[in-house]
């Protein structure tokens, strides 16, 4: 099931903390998903209530909010897909909260052409931040569960739906098995 973002207010909607003068409502959005959306979907559609069968995903700020949902509700979401997550904002690392131990099976995709700026205009590759974060999550999954976290860095792709779509098959295979293409 897909939930559209609110368009021009998506930063307010998805940001899980205050930044750039915006008091983010990401945690309230996640609470709404958990309290209202997931139970309704499971009532209307014959969906499994097992967290190992339930995933959350998004791209850009949606990828950030998906990761945050995995941190806040590991008992709810057993799978997390984060495409080009905004882990840095204006030179500040996004605090996702305590993610130890990290249980969700996770796919994080990013391109070598995606950057963050330090607030002074200098650009740095976002892929470095994402790879470090993926290693952190993998290490917190425990030695027998490291394969649960996959980070894919794509060369020559941009921060857009085309790049995310190109990685989608790999994400589904990692998250749910080889039968999902």
**What average pLDDT does this structure show over 70-96?**
86
pLDDT for residue 146? 66
Considering only CA atoms, which of 26, 27, 28, 53 is closest in space to residue 41? 53
pLDDT for residue 143? 64
**Tens digit of each residue's pLDDT (9 = 90 or more) over 91-124:** 777 777 666 677 789 999 999 988 877 777 788 8
**Rounded Cα–Cα distance for residues 158 and 113 (Å):** 6
**What average pLDDT does this structure show over 158-176?**
94
Residues 6 or more apart in contact with residue 29 via CB below 8 angstroms:
13, 14, 65
How many of the other CB atoms lie within 10 Å of CB of 108?
Answer: 26
Q: What is the mean pLDDT of the chain?
A: 85
Considering only CA atoms, which of 88, 110, 97, 100 is closest in space to residue 139? 100
pLDDT at 153 over 70: yes
**Tens digit of each residue's pLDDT (9 = 90 or more) over 7-62:** 788 888 888 887 778 888 889 999 999 999 999 998 898 888 888 899 999 999 99
The partner residues of 151 in beta bridges, in order of sequence, read 108
**Rounded Cα–Cα distance for residues 135 and 50 (Å):** 27
pLDDT at 82 over 90: yes
Q: List, in order of start, the domains of the chain with CATH numbers.
A: 48-176 (3.40.50.1820)
pTM (two decimals): 0.88
């Amino acid at each position: 099931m897909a939930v559209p973002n609110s368009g021009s207010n998506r930063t307010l909607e998805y940001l899980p903390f205050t930044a750039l003068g915006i008091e983010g409502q990401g945690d309230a959005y996640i609470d709404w998903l958990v309290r209202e959306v997931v139970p309704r979907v499971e009532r209307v559609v014959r969906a499994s209530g097992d967290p190992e069968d339930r995933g959350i995903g998004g791209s850009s700020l949606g990828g950030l909010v998906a990761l945050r949902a995995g941190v806040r509700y590991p008992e709810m979401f057993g799978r997390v897909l984060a495409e080009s997550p905004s882990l840095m904002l204006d030179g500040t690392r996004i605090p996702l909260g305590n993610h130890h131990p990290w249980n969700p099976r996770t796919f994080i995709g990013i391109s070598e052409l995606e950057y963050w700026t330090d607030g002074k205009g200098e650009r740095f590759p976002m892929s470095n931040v994402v790879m470090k974060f993926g290693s952190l999550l993998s290490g917190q999954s425990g030695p027998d569960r490291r394969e649960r976290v996959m980070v894919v860095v794509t060369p020559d792709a941009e921060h857009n739906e085309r790049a995310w779509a190109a990685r989608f098959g790999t994400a589904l295979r990692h998250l749910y098995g080889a039968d999902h293409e």
